[in-house]
Structures are given as C-alpha cells and as structure tokens.
A = this chain, B = another copy of it.
C-alpha cells in the first residue's frame, strides 16, 4: 500500500506536468488563432478546455482520496495541498487561453488584433508559452532556483502589457473603441496567464522550502 501511495503521489505530479503541456498548447494555439483569425484553431481551444477542467477535477479527487486514506504528514502533506492549489492555477490558465480564442472567434473573419500591435501579441504568446513550459519543468524537477528566476520572465510580460497601453493611447490609434476594448481584455488575459505561471512556480518554492509564497498578481 505504501508503495502504491508513493506511486500515486508521483503520478499526480506527472499529471500536473502534463497539464502545463496542455495549457501551453492551448495558449499557443489561441495566440495563432488570434493572429491569423483562424476560427478552426479557436474552436479547438474552446472545445479543449473541457478536458483541462476534467483533469483538474480528477487531480482534486485523487488528492482528496490520498488525504483521507493515507493521512500524510510533513512533506507528503505539503505535496498534496500544493498539488490541489496548483491545479487551480492551471485550470484558470486554460480558461484564459479559451477567453483569447473566444475573442478571435467573435471577430472572425476580421482579425481581432490590428497590425500595429501584432508584434506585441506575438511576443506575449511566446512569453506565456515559455512561462508555462518552465513552470512544467519546475514542477517536474522541484527546481527552486528556476522557480525564483521565473519572476524575471514575468517582468517581460508586464513590459509588453505597458507597451500595449502606449500603443492604444498613441494619438493615431485609428481602430476605435471596440478594438480598444478587445485589446485591453486580451492584454489582461495574457497578463493573468503569466501571473498564474508565477504562482505555480511560487508553490514549488513553498513545497520544497516550506516557506509560504506571496500571492501572485496582487498588483494590478
């Protein structure tokens, strides 16, 4: 029983890593759908979110069962409570990718993103995917050093977000209010995605060191 308990803990961790892959893929596909006004890709992301939600529910249940049956203490207990918190972040990241896909779908066949800000979204998509890929490696290896480095990558997303607002507020933004609303919400979705990736990394720091991470995204 003890052996299968260890195996179950390992397996839950593998599930979290697989979820980072699924969420990264959703984000990458959503960004392509957005930039190419590709409604087929957008629909794929929208439909795929159900799977991510199901994995989250399954991980939650398995963690609960482990707590009830094995009554773990110390680092095992921390691993389980951390997993329960981490799936919450990952599921939310899936939602945010879905929100981006929905904007692409809503504006189709027009592109939701005007030419001027395409490079910013291309880079935001790249940074988002890179953050969640690193978060996956951090979970897999319990890599505290890499977790602490992730904050710097998040700063890059904040800079992109600021750049986006500068574009929107430049004198010659010719795309009107509707487009400004889209861009504002899209910017927020990418930013929140990055915040959750940082939050995942901070949870690994807590898991390994026992020190509680600060909440991510406490800043606007």
How many identical chains are in the complex? 2
Stretch at the interface among A5-13, A68-76, A149-157: A68-76
A160 close to chain B: CB less than 8 A: no
* Number of A interface residues in the complex (CB < 8 A): 41
A43-71 interface (Cβ within 8 A of B): 49, 53, 56-57, 60-61, 64, 67-68, 71
- Chain A, residues 99-127, CB within 8 Å of chain B (1/0): the string is 10011000000000000000000000000
Query: B91 to A88, Cβ gap below 8 A?
Result: no
Q: In the complex, what residues of B have CB within 8 A of residue A217's CB?
A: 95
Cross-chain contact of A61 among B184, B212, B215 (Cβ < 8 A): B212
Which single member of B74, B168, B178 contacts A181 (CB below 8 Å)?
B168
Is residue A98 contacting chain B, with contact meaning CB distance below 8 A? Answer: yes
The answer to whether A218 has its CB under 8 Å from any CB of chain B is: yes
Within 8 A of B (CB), among A81-105: 81, 84-85, 88, 91, 95, 98-99, 102-103
A177 an interface residue at 8 Å Cβ cutoff? yes
Q: Is B165 a contact partner of A102 (Cβ separation < 8 A)? A: no
Q: Which residues of B contact A180 (CB under 8 A)?
A: 177, 180-181, 184
Shortest distance between the CB of A22 and any CB in chain B (Å):
15
A145 at the interface (CB under 8 A from B): no
Interface residues of A (CB under 8 A from B): 49, 53, 56-57, 60-61, 64, 67-68, 71, 73-74, 77-78, 81, 84-85, 88, 91, 95, 98-99, 102-103, 165, 168-169, 173, 177-178, 180-181, 184-185, 188, 212, 214-215, 217-218, 220
